[in-house]
Every structure is written in structure tokens, then in C-alpha cells.
Structure 1
Amino acid sequence: MTHDDATTGTTVPRALVVGEALVDVVRRTDGSVAEHPGGSPMNVAIGLGRLGRGVDLLTWLGDDARGDAVRRHLAASAVRVLKGDTSPASTSVATAILDADGVATYDFDLAWDLPAQWEEPAADPIVVHTGSIAAVLAPGGSAVLRLVAAHRATSTITYDPNLRPALMGTAEATRPRVEALVALADVVKVSDEDLEWLHPGVAPSDIAEEWARLGPGLVVVTHGGDGAFACTAAGVRLAVPAPRVEVADTVGAGDSFMAGLIDGLWSAGLLGANRRGALADVDAATLQRVLARCARIAAITVSRAGANPPSSTELGEG
């Protein structure tokens, strides 16, 4: 997706993020309860907006107080919500229960679909991102798969499974959809926890290398506080450490890493369908630099409460 820059007359590339935006109800061990806008794809869109990227979000929000709060949160980070012809009866809710270490487990009250018709920007996005609940949960998951497939001819496709077993059924039932999206994607970011659920007992690096043979140019596996591992279709293999920080909670850490990954590849000139070959051939030095920045972005996010990714100014770039 693009828009015209009125000051220069040039067309500025935009991202399209497709997926759930909802309300996280966070319950802490001290008994406190707080509500925040959430949802993995929404968090990625917020992360991109704070890093200065033009980003549109195609989602499924209710016309209610919670939906309005989510829309205000998105607007504050310059994310444009695409208008659709239909919406759910109420905005979905995810309850995050934090343990003593700030690690979240989730319970959900949600519905997911896409509008039958939605606002169509004038040009194709340079990148389309999806993942998590939106990519799997019926009835919207099948529509997301079709949308991603339709954009592959013009856009880089990025995907984060960000699996929620409480909603997705068994690993055996979920695996075919995940692998279908992996095969369509150019970039996959996945956590070691997701891979352990999908393929118990198999080394995450082995799965990443297998996925890199399915179609993606780049597969990245995050290991929380232990950093990340990446492999490319051309054979680059490398690991990056995670900066040491005091963890407030892990909510949104993977999403902020994903936003940083899209943004870093964008800055390196590796997004867009016409750059698919260059992305697959990315050199180790470029990839190391991009991933080290992703790890720094995620570390800032876990150092403060909630899904609160840093801006480019906080990174010393703006």
C-alpha cells in the first residue's frame, strides 16, 4: 500500500497488517487487573507505526467502547484501520494471567472474521504481515490465507505463527494451516515455544531449516532471553544474543521483534516482491545487524509493562 507524499510528489510504500485487534485484560499476582489494547498483529502494526512506517491494519473490531479504545490506541501510533462493511457484535477480549516472573498465559473470549468488503487503498503494499489467531481461527482464517496468497505477486509476505493452543485445537490439526502459510511467506518469525508445541522434541533449528526449504527466504526462531537463531534459503546460519534487562513482563515481546524485523529488512532494501531473490540471498553481516536491533527492540519492550514497543526516537534513530 502506498500514499502520495504531498511535499515531494513521490509515492511512499506502506505495510498491510492483517489480523486481530482486541483488549487484553491483564491479571497480576498482586491481584491487580488492567485493560490494554492488544492482539499480536495489532502489536506488530503499532511497532511499525512507532518506527515511522506507514501501516494499515485490516482487522475485526466491534463498534463498542472497547473497540473505540483500540482505535484510539492505534491512531496514537499512526496506524490506519481499514474500514469494512461488517463488524462483530462486540470487541474480543484476551485475558493475560501473569506469573511471578511476568510470563503470560492466555484465556480468550473472541470471534474472528474479515469484512466481506473493505476500504481498498490505491496501491499494493510493499509487505503484508499476518499471524497468530487470525491466521488459524475460523471463519476468518481461510479468508486470511486467500488474501495472503493474492498479495504474494506484489508484496513480501511475513508470518508469525504466535500460536494459541487454547483456541487452535491440537498441534496435528493446526500444523497444516501453519505450513501452508509458511510456504507462502518470504519471512517467518517463530518462537521456540511454538515449535515445541508443533513438533515436540525436535530441535528448533532443524525445523527452521526445513521451513526455509518450503519457500521462505528467511526463518528466525526467537528463544526469549537466550536471543534468536536465523537461517536463510541460501544457507546463512547465525545467532544473536538478547540484551540483559530486568523483565517487567513478556507481553508483546515477540510482536515488537517482528515489527523490528520487518522494519530492518525494509531499511535494507529487501522488501517487495521484486526483492524476493535479494532477501533470500541476504548476507550474514546485514542479517546480524538487523537481528541485533530486533533483539534490542524486544528487550526494551520486556523491560516495561504491557505491549509497549519503542519508537525510533527511543532507539536514538529519530
Structure 2
Amino acid sequence: MSSQGIGPEPNLSDSKALVTVIGEALVDIIEGPRQGNAAPETHPGGSPLNVAVGCARLGLHTKLVTHFAEDAYGQLIAKHLANNGVEPIVGGSQPTSTALATLDDTGAARYTFAISWDINGASIPALAAAEGSRHVHTGSIATVLPPGSKSVMGLLEGARRHATISFDPNCRPAISPDKAAARKQAEDFVAASDIVKASDEDLLWLYPDRTLEESMNAWLALGPALVALTRGANGPVLLSRSGRVDITGERVEVADTVGAGDSFMSALISGLRQLDALGAAGRARLQEITQDQLHVLARYANKAAGITCSRPGANPPGLADLGPLANPSFLLEG
């Protein structure tokens, strides 16, 4: 299945989405050792877009509040979203954003951005989508780059009564080099969220004087029910008020790591949906999540990230690849 693979058909007859993702859509231009003298590859990307596609491929009715233009790159994004059953809500007026991803010999990516973030003109349908969803996810550049970053927090505030909230800072120092400001913005979004996910690189950049464990505990104290940490090949850590789960990474042949963290996030949302732990009605279950549930969620999301690492580009798994959460009926009794 390629990164343009066909996903579930969009259910446009239903104006409400189960999941609304808010954030940037862009085109990844990938170059590195594996390209040799060939032309760079182009793939639709952006962390929020990848999460939206990942959620839709896992059977969740998903909308994406974003920006892209009616240019060649924007048409590539629009086709990708349509093929994967993601309904876009598009604002802003600038050209479609791009990210040049340069891969090293291990497949790890470093990015150079040409990006703008503004959803002006889409505020009414965006708020309707956020307020009508069971879960709202945001993160990455959309939460730090003005003018759109202020709109994102407003949408979360509007959604909070009806939806659970998740956040992934996906820090980009090239976009937000003011570390103190980025830290403050991240903490504001953490405090507004039920579920937060970060990579070890994110936390070490934001808090160079803390251990990862200290940073996770500090975020948990800000109010979320669940804090997830990804550590690449070392595997994830999930932390809640019931305790901590630490598992090893998936053993896969890595094509590249593009989009792996986003696939982890999508699978985590899907797993929590299968545990009936999303939405206002599921918030109490999320806050009481057990160690057994954390362990199964960690394995499920970790498997999704591993599948993505085995494929070129941001190409998250579908239900046929990942299957359902293990023993959900047993876990629902927890």
C-alpha cells in the first residue's frame, strides 16, 4: 500500500465527525542516500494530516481543519485526503506549505520548512466540527505558529465540554527557536488536554535540565489523564495516575521514520476509542485507566509505529494491518 493508498470511504452524509484533527497539511519533499541521483520523492504530510489519515484508516470518521491552496501541492494533499476518507475544512490564503526532509543513512529525517499557518475564513465550520466531535487532536506547528495558533486554542476551548482532547507538540526548533516561548505554549496545550504524547527529542529540547521521567511527571501534574512518550527503537512509555508502563520497540527493517510518531498517536486514539474512553462520557474511564489497559495500548500504538517505519514516507497502517485492540472486552471490565 503506497502513501496514496485508498482508505475508508468518507461519510459525508453525517455532519459530525468522531475525530477532528486541527493542524497543518503540507508536502514532504524527501531526499537522501536512498534517492541517489533520482528526483526527490513528494508525499502529503504534516503531523496533524498524518494523524488524521491514520485515524481514518483505522475506521474513525475524521475531519481535518487545515490549510492548503489550490496549487499543485494542494491538489496532491486534497487527493490524498479524499482517497483516505478524511473530510477537510480549509481556511487561509497562502500557498501550500512544504517541508524538505533530508534522510540520513539510518532513515532518520531532518526538516527545512516553507510554511504558513492560518485558518482564517474557516472558523465557523471548524468550530462546528470541533464541538460536534467525540475527540479533538492537535499539535505540531499549528500550536506555535501565529496567527493560526491562537485559533487552535479557541477551538479546543469550544470542544472541551463535548470532546476529549489530545496534543502532540512535535517540536520544530526551526519553526519556533524561542525555547522559552515554545515551552510555555506547549504547557498551555498540555493543561488543556486529556492525552498528551511527545517524543524523547521533544522533551529533551523543551527541558534540557530534566530527565524524561521528571518531564512526564510534570506534564501529568498539569492535568492530563495520560502522558505518552515515544523513544524510537527503545519503545514507548505510558504514564497515568495508576502508574507507568514501559515496553521495548518493535523489531522491523526500517525504511525511514517519517510519520512513525503520528501513526503511534492515531493508534492510541483508536485504542482509546475501543476502550470507550473518548468523549465527555468516556472521560471518567480515561481518568481511571488501568495498568493492563496502558500495557495493551502501548503495544497497539507501538505496533502501528513499527509498521510505518517499515514503509517509505508517512504511510500509516489500516485496520487490515493492525487489527483490533487485544482483548477489549476484558479490558473494558478494568
Which TM class, normalised by the smaller chain length?
over 0.9
Q: 8 Å contact 1:244–1:299 — kept in the other structure?
A: yes
Q: Offset at 1:114?
A: 1.2
Aligned-partner Cα distance in 2 for 1:122–1:283: 28
1:56 aligns with 2:63: yes
CA distance in 1, matches of 2:16, 2:88: 18
Q: 1:72 aligns with which of 72, 79, 83?
A: 79
> Cα RMSD (Å) of the superposition?
2.1
2:217 aligned partner:
209
Q: Deviation per CA, 1:158-214, whole angstroms, max 9, x where unpaired?
A: 000001000012211211100000000000010000000000141112111111110
CA contact (8 A) 1:17 1:57 kept: yes
Aligned-pair CA distance for 1:12: 7.7
Whether the 8 Å CA contact 2:25–2:46 is kept in 1: the answer is yes
Choose which of 146, 161, 171 in structure 1 pairs with 2:154: 146
Residue in 1 aligned with 2:108?
103
Question: Are the equivalent residues in 2 in contact too, given 1:88–1:111 (CA < 8 A)?
Answer: no
Counterpart in 1 of 2:51?
A: 44
The one-letter code matched in structure 2 to 1:19 is G
The one-letter code of the counterpart of 1:103 is: A
Deviation at 1:268, TM superposition (A): 0.4
Q: Which amino acid aligns with 1:151?
A: A
Rounded Cα–Cα distance in structure 2 between residues aligned with 1:121 and 1:282: 27
Match of 1:93 in 2: 98
Q: Who is 2:31 aligned against? A: 27
Residues 208-232 of structure 1 show CA distances to partners (whole Å, capped at 9, x for unaligned) of 1111110100001111000011111
- Give the alignment's TM-score, normalised by structure 2: 0.88
Instruction: Decide which of 231, 244, 250 is 1:223's aligned counterpart.
Output: 231
Specify every segment of 5 or more residues in structure 1 that has no aligned partner in the other structure, as ranges. Answer: none
Q: How many angstroms does 1:157 deviate by?
A: 0.3
1:242/1:111 Cα in 2 relative to 1: closer, same or farther (>3 Å)?
Answer: same
The one-letter amino acid paired with 2:29 is V
Alignment match, 1:17? 21
Residue-by-residue CA offset, 1:85-105 (whole Å, 9 max, x unaligned): xx3231011100100111000
AA partner of residue 23 (structure 1)? V
Structure-1 residue corresponding to 2:188:
180
CA distance in 2, matches of 1:35, 1:105: 15
Residue aligning to 1:280: 287
Aligned residues of 1:60 and 1:115 also touching (Cα < 8 A): no
**CA spacing shift, 1:240–1:264, aligned 2, 3 Å:** same
Equivalent-residue separation in structure 2 for 1:156 and 1:291 (angstroms)? 19
Query: Is the partner of 1:313 in helix, strand or coil?
Result: helix
Does 2:316 match 1:309?
A: yes
2-structure distance, mates of 1:40, 1:4 = 23
Partner SS state of residue 18, structure 2: strand
Inter-partner Cα distance in structure 2 for 1:301 and 1:228: 15
TM-fit CA distance, 1:277 = 2.2
Q: Aligned residues, how many? A: 310
| C-alpha deviation, 1:241, in angstroms | 1.6
- Identify if the C-alpha distance between structure 1 residues 114 and 138 changes in structure 2 by more than 3 Å, giving closer, same or farther: same
1:78 deviation in Å? 0.6
Contact 1:83 1:118 survives alignment (8 Å): no
Report the AA paired with residue 109 of structure 1. A
Q: 1:77 to 1:11 in 2, by over 3 A?
A: closer
Aligned to 2:94, the other structure's residue is in SS state coil
Q: Supply the AA of the counterpart residue of 1:135.
A: T
Deviates more, 1:152-161 or 1:25-34: 25-34
Mean CA deviation greater in 170-179 or 256-265:
170-179
Listed as ranges, the gaps of 5+ residues in structure 2 are 1-9, 326-334
Query: Post-superposition shift, 1:123?
Result: 6.2
